[in-house]
Amino acid sequence: MKQPMVNSRNTEQRDLFRGALEMMVLQSLHRQPMHGYALVQHIRQRSNDLLQVEEGSLYPALQRMLRARLLTAKWTMSPTNRRVRTYQITAAGTRHLEQEMSSFEQMMKGIYLVLSPAEG
Amino acid sequence: MISFRQIFKRSQIHDDLAEEIQQHLAEEIESLVAGGMNRRDAEFAARRRFGNTTLIEEQGSEAWRMPNIEGWLSDLRFALRRLKASPGFTLTAVTTLALGIGANVVVFSVLNGLILRPLGVPDAKNLYQISHGKNGGDAQAYPDYRDFRDRDPSFSGIMAYKILTAGMSIDNATVRSWGFAATGNYFDVLGVQPALGRFFHASDEHGLGSAPYVVLSDDFWRRQFGARSDVLGKAVKLNGHPFTVIGVAQRGFRGTDVFFWPDYWMPVVNAEQVTGWSDFCCRDHIEFMVMGRLKPGIAPQRATESLNALAAQMAREDKKDDGLTLRVREPGPAGNENDPVKKGLLLIMLLAGLVLLAACANLASIFAARAADRAGELAVRMAIGASRWIVLRQLLTEAVLVSLMGGLLGSIFARQLLQSLSSWQPFGDFPTRLLVVPDASVYVVAIGLSLASGILFGLLPARQVWRTDVVQAIKTGYVWMESFRRFAMRDVLLAIQIVVCTLLVTASAVAIRGMERAMHVALGFNPQGVTVAQADLNMAGYTSDSALPAQKRILEQAQAMPGVTVATISDDMPFSGGGGQWFVYRWGTTDFVPAHMSFAAATFQVAPGYLHTVQTPLLAGRDFTWHDDKNAPNVAIVNQTFARMLYGDSTPIGQKFALWATAKYQIVGEVEDGRYHAVGEKPQPMMMMPLAQGIGGYMSTAATVLVRSKLPQDQVASALHRMLSHELPGTPFMVRSWSDSVDLSLIPMRAITVVLGVMGLLAAVLAMTGIFGMASYSVAKRMKEQGIRIALGAKRPQVMLAVLGRPFLLLICGSMLGLGAGLLTSRVVAHLGSLATPSDPLVMFSVCLAMILIGVVATWIPARRMLAIDPAQLLREA
């Protein structure tokens, strides 16, 4: 299984931990259904251009989540009158997102405690 | 989560993804163009940023992959391709297995239908038959039954029935019919319900002749009454006596006998009306099958003990029950350990299993050879990372695929055969059936056998895969076989085939020899050219007292028929399928109880001239005359066995014996021994009484007309038909050739001979191909080596010995083993009524000859190839 990878623009490539891309995709789709290109743009804008999702990671990740029934996909027409495949999060996907978010928060808290300067 | 559909949706998924990626690129390009870049640069930039689209498509599709199922599916496709590539091999393998599995399915289905499947009644497992102890039969006397029913504590209910035959008049036509005369509680003990109307019950019995009812079987109702529902309340006549149809049994209920399916059931209290024969008087009229249901918690063994305690008490009360022993057993052949049908079927099942084993052994060596041919390829696959299990799975898939195809084909053939066997009625209108149509359990066995044999012959070559040294195997010219010096798996496989083959060839040789002897056995009479008509004058309204004049009149008419050389009349004849026996007592016996009898003798009541007509030689004394009638002293003619058993070596003429107190006989003639029921039977005592005298004053109403003529059988038969229709209007009768009746008695032996013959042939072909395969392989692999030996001066016989010694050694050892096992099996075959024994020199000789022939034929071509070696050319080729 390949690790999802995210490029941070203008800096060196850095591997994100497993599941970060999925979490961001699920969270983005949780706000509103989107197609692939829109997802890339959305994540870039939200991260203030810090994160650039690599298409080579995004599409396989979307397929994996489709298979795991975290998402559904259907062909629709975009506002710019283009045929696009729009992804929508399922109930299972929402549950999955919540679980991942809470364990992610736990982990961040832990990492933060370890990295913060020792007190006293 | 994963549906099979997804596997087949693969191309849809791929197409969607490809289009999505194209749209993504287009959108990116547009946005770059909108940002001021020219279109050409924008296209390159978008592509650069996106990366390798093909790779992303691949990675996207990969998410949907199921490695196990897809691996297996591709194994399956590969196996199919391989099988298609070698149609000769596929055809041979599938046919071999189809025959092997088909034979097993047929035999198992028959075994299942006749022995394993319980009777079609509720809770059949709790239904037990009360039989005589030791080697006694099943039939009981009615008064004894009454004692069991009323006085034994282990059963919750006991019923009894006997088979009777009668002419049933429906409207104006009369047909022969066979039914059960059953006790009133018959249906209640069984716990069955009628499909129409009602059954009779114990409460319907109010003494002799009080319940003139019949319950029809579903089959008889459809056949004779057109399945009409207004049949209830209809009046029919049984042998002229009025009966009322009160019910129809359910379709699945076929009585309580495995082979005999009654046309109807009637209360036993009315049986005497129909047969003119008292059932209730005597403890030595043993005619009833007795079955009961055990009380909860009581084991058959305990019931046997309590019944025997009762029997001992009954013997103290009535001397006729002296020596009565009983046992409780499962009904039908299943519960009888000495039943010849059961023994024979189990033996054949065993042999069929061996044939399948030989087929598997044969295929295992072919598969091993095919795997060896692929040694290089398989080694490369393993070298680049395929696990041994993946390689093995591929080999197994191919084997199981072949075995399932063989099993399917075999089951289809088996089903056809079994269906025709099930609708077969060997005895004319006598309702005998072989319910052997396969049911679910048979198909489960078929699938199980197919899978098991596939795995068996697929796994044996797998040993090679497991032990492959990859580095060695990749090298060219590697021989993927164990050393030729040691005995290898292939030798064991071949030995199994040879042993099984010899065993089956021996068994079938014994059966064939027995059959051949049966054809020439002295029957004690000559059935050739004799046509027989059988009727019961009882069905035409005659009684024991009025039958004789009608019998004489029929005989005169038969003698006057054109083309008739001689004719006679009797109550019954040998090989009729029926036949009564009487207990014979020594002269001077005072207590006529079964415990004191000398033996039971087959009994025929015959007219004067019977011996001349059937061509039974009279050894001493005289034939009967019409003056031997009720007013003359009782006389009898006996056979040699009868005479020897009662009087030793002294002449029987003038000697006396008794059947009971008022039936005492003087012997006036002695005839040669003959066969009376089966060709293979042991010599039996037989006696004949004058038809005009009856037995102890009891005159038979049966009429068996035997006519010898030189005219074609069908002409005689139709003349007999006309004559009897005229003499006994409206009475059913049966006309057939006597030889056919004798042939009918050979059916079980014929069946065994055919089955063993087919299996023997199959095993012989398998052994032959097995030896051929091994010899040719051995020749092919050692051609070069032997070529060098010849070039160095080895003589051809030495070379032959080196190459073909192994197969021949196996053939000889295997044959010896097989012959030994065959001799053991054949003992059982001999028990089943075959006249030959395995120690018959002709049998031994033919088996040895057959095995030598198999060896010679199988090694002929490889040996020719070996002899044709041209060392110079061989060495050049290398």
**CB-CB neighbours of B701 under 10 Å:** 25
Q: Which residue has the higher pLDDT, B383 or B553?
A: B553
Give per-residue pLDDT as tens, B204-221: 999 888 899 999 999 899
Closest CA to B383 of B284, B265, B469: B469
Please list the residues that pair with B690 across neighbouring strands. Answer: B606
Segment B296-300 shows an average pLDDT of: 89
Is the CB of residue B22 less than 8 Å away from at least one CB of chain A? no
Q: Which residue has the higher pLDDT, B700 or B778?
A: B700
Cite the DSSP H helix spans in B662-746: 713-727, 738-745
Judged by CB atoms closer than 8 Å, whether chains meet at A55 and B64 is answered as no
Residues 6+ apart with CB under 8 A from B437: B109, B113, B418, B419, B422
By three-state DSSP, how is residue B622 classified? coil
Judged by CB atoms closer than 8 Å, whether chains meet at B60 and A59 is answered as yes
Q: Are B200 and B187 in contact (CB under 8 A)?
A: yes
Is the CB of residue A110 less than 8 Å away from at least one CB of chain B? no
Q: Are B502 and B757 in contact (CB under 8 A)?
A: no
Judged by CB atoms closer than 8 Å, whether chains meet at B23 and A2 is answered as no
Asked which of B472-476, B609-613, B787-791 is least confident by mean pLDDT, the reply is: B472-476
Which of B59, B61, B64, B66 to mutate to probe the A interface, most A CBs <10 Å?
A: B59
Is the CB of residue A77 less than 8 Å away from at least one CB of chain B? no
Judged by CB atoms closer than 8 Å, whether chains meet at B62 and A60 is answered as yes
Segment B146-169 shows an average pLDDT of: 90
> How high is the pLDDT of residue B525?
92
Judged by CB atoms closer than 8 Å, whether chains meet at B56 and A82 is answered as no
Length of chain A: 120
Closest CA to B503 of B806, B767, B680: B767
Judged by CB atoms closer than 8 Å, whether chains meet at B26 and A67 is answered as no
Please list the residues that pair with B197 across neighbouring strands. Answer: B247
**Could you give the count of Cα atoms lying within 13 Å of A67 in the half-sphere of its Cβ?**
21
Give per-residue pLDDT as tens, B687-712: 999 999 988 878 888 899 999 999 99
Nearest-CA distance from B25 to chain A in Å?
A: 8
Say yes or no to pLDDT of B846 above 90.
no
Instruction: Name the amino acid, one letter, at B252.
Output: G
Q: Residue B129: phi, psi to the nearest 5?
A: -100, 140
Residues 6+ apart with CB under 8 A from B32: B41, B42, B45, B46
Q: Which residues of B touch A68 (CB under 8 A)?
A: 1
> How high is the pLDDT of residue A14?
44
> How high is the pLDDT of residue B592?
83
- How do the pLDDT tens digits run along chain A, 120 residues long? 334 444 434 333 444 556 788 899 999 999 999 999 999 889 888 888 888 788 888 888 898 898 889 999 999 888 888 889 999 999 999 999 999 899 889 988 998 999 988 654
CB pairs under 8 A between A and B: 61
Structure tokens at B549: 């004049």
> How high is the pLDDT of residue B156?
92
Where is B8: in which H helix or E strand? helix B5-8
> How high is the pLDDT of residue B331?
86
Give per-residue pLDDT as tens, B538-578: 878 888 888 999 999 999 999 999 999 999 999 999 988 77
Closest CA to A25 of A73, A71, A67, A69: A71
Tell me the average pLDDT of chain B: 85
pTM: 0.71
> How high is the pLDDT of residue B2?
47
DSSP labels, B477-499: T---S--SSS--HHHHHHHHHHH
> How high is the pLDDT of residue A119?
59
Structure tokens at B150: 């009323």
Nearest-CA distance from A96 to chain B in Å?
A: 16
Closest CA to B614 of B570, B653, B679: B570
Judged by CB atoms closer than 8 Å, whether chains meet at A55 and B17 is answered as no
Instruction: Report which DSSP code applies to B115.
Output: I
Is the CB of residue A64 less than 8 Å away from at least one CB of chain B? yes
> How high is the pLDDT of residue B501?
87
Contacts 24+ apart (CB under 8 A), B143-149: B143/B280, B143/B281, B143/B282, B143/B283, B144/B283, B144/B314, B144/B321, B144/B324, B145/B183, B145/B288, B145/B290, B147/B310, B147/B314, B148/B290, B148/B292, B148/B307, B148/B310, B149/B292
Judged by CB atoms closer than 8 Å, whether chains meet at B49 and A55 is answered as yes
> How high is the pLDDT of residue B836?
63
Q: Are B709 and B614 in contact (CB under 8 A)?
A: no
> How high is the pLDDT of residue B658?
92
Instruction: Name the amino acid, one letter, at A26.
Output: L
E strands, B679-818, where? 686-690, 702-709, 733-737
> How high is the pLDDT of residue A2?
38
Most confident of A79-88, B765-774, B789-798: A79-88
Please list the residues that pair with B329 across neighbouring strands. Answer: B129
> How high is the pLDDT of residue B606?
94
Q: Which residues of B touch A85 (CB under 8 A)?
A: 16, 19-20, 23
> How high is the pLDDT of residue B358?
87
Say yes or no to pLDDT of B405 above 80.
yes
Residue in B closest to A39 by C-alpha: B24
Where is B327: in which H helix or E strand? strand B326-329
Is the CB of residue A104 less than 8 Å away from at least one CB of chain B? no
Segment B140-144 shows an average pLDDT of: 91
Length of chain B: 878
Q: Are B144 and B313 in contact (CB under 8 A)?
A: no
Judged by CB atoms closer than 8 Å, whether chains meet at A55 and B51 is answered as yes
Say yes or no to pLDDT of B1 above 50.
no
- Domain residue extents for chain A: 6-115
**Which of A36, A64, A69 has the CB atom closest to B24's CB atom?**
A36
**Which of A67, A73, A84 has the CB atom closest to B63's CB atom?**
A67
Tokens 């008419």, located at residue: B557
Is the CB of residue A17 less than 8 Å away from at least one CB of chain B? no
Q: Which of residues 50-89 of B touch A (CB under 8 A)?
A: 50-52, 55-56, 59-64
> How high is the pLDDT of residue A10?
38
Which of B12, B22, B56 to mutate to probe the A interface, most A CBs <10 Å?
A: B56
> How high is the pLDDT of residue B835?
61
Which of A55, A57, A71, A77 to mutate to probe the B interface, most B CBs <10 Å?
A: A55
Q: Of all residues in chain B, what percent carry a pLDDT higher than 90? A: 28
> How high is the pLDDT of residue A120?
45
User: CATH number of A6-115: 3.30.70.20, 1.10.10.10, 3.20.20.10, 1.10.8.870?
Assistant: 1.10.10.10
Most confident of B530-539, B599-608, B844-853: B599-608
Residue in B closest to A69 by C-alpha: B1
The span from the CA of B669 to the CA of B652, in Å, is 8
Give per-residue pLDDT as tens, B643-655: 999 999 899 999 9
Is the CB of residue B15 less than 8 Å away from at least one CB of chain A? no
Helix axes B340-373, B440-467, angle to 10 degrees: 30
The span from the CA of B581 to the CA of B604, in Å, is 9
Judged by CB atoms closer than 8 Å, whether chains meet at B59 and A56 is answered as yes
Closest CA to B442 of B756, B114, B763, B123: B114
Q: Which residues of B touch A80 (CB under 8 A)?
A: 27
Please report which confidence band the pLDDT of residue B437 belongs to, taking 50, 70 and 90 as the band edges: confident
**CB-CB neighbours of B584 under 10 Å:** 23
Sign of CA dihedral B283, B288, B294, B299: positive
* Strand B140-141 to B127-132 pairing: unpaired
Judged by CB atoms closer than 8 Å, whether chains meet at A60 and B13 is answered as no
> How high is the pLDDT of residue A87?
94
Question: For chain A, first and last CA: distance in Å?
Answer: 45
Say yes or no to pLDDT of B642 above 90.
yes
